[in-house]
Structure 1
């Protein structure tokens, strides 16, 4: 009985630690989307190339279209870090 309790406790801790490390999906940053059928607009935007998208939608009554967030520049681009100015002593 004691071994079963320890095993369940270990399993629960493992599952909880797995949930703690899950990162949110960023699939909407890819340029191509599978659209139509069960997908809302803009679709399943998880494809780097048009060919990948075409291979995925083949036989699924879907089509490929550009991701509007990427096509129209609405994806937040990482801002470049500004360089700090280094002050140097002025020679007299």
Structure 2
């Protein structure tokens, strides 16, 4: 009788583990993808390619990251030389 009880406990715990794993896998698979964004400042140094590490929203953030390293901060060329967005006047109705 005792051996069948141990077997039942092992089967039940294996079922709970499988269900928990399936739920966790579902949450991981349903995550939203990262949003691509061009930040205005790039950290440039010999270790980075062109234009560098462009993940800084302000010049001060970039300078803090460059502090103590052989690095400098420049304006992100993807942001500064981007074509301006054209306004679609059809969305404004009869006002124009």
TM-score category by the smaller chain? 0.5 to 0.7
In structure 1, list runs of 5 or more residues that go unmatched.
86-92
* Aligned positions, number: 83
In structure 1, distance between residues paired with 2:42 and 2:80: 11
- Does the C-alpha gap of structure 1 residues 54 and 13 become closer, same or farther in structure 2, counting only changes over 3 Å? same
Structure 1 residue ranges, 4+ long, deviating more than 6 angstroms after superposition: none
Q: CA deviation at 1:18?
A: 2.6
- Does the C-alpha gap of structure 1 residues 35 and 25 become closer, same or farther in structure 2, counting only changes over 3 Å? farther
What's the TM-score once normalised by structure 1's chain length? 0.63
- Does the C-alpha gap of structure 1 residues 52 and 40 become closer, same or farther in structure 2, counting only changes over 3 Å? same
Alignment root-mean-square deviation, CA: 2.9
Higher radius of gyration, 1 or 2: 2
For structure 1, which segment, 58-67 or 12-21, has the greater mean C-alpha deviation from structure 2 after superposition? 12-21
In structure 2, list runs of 5 or more residues that go unmatched.
1-9
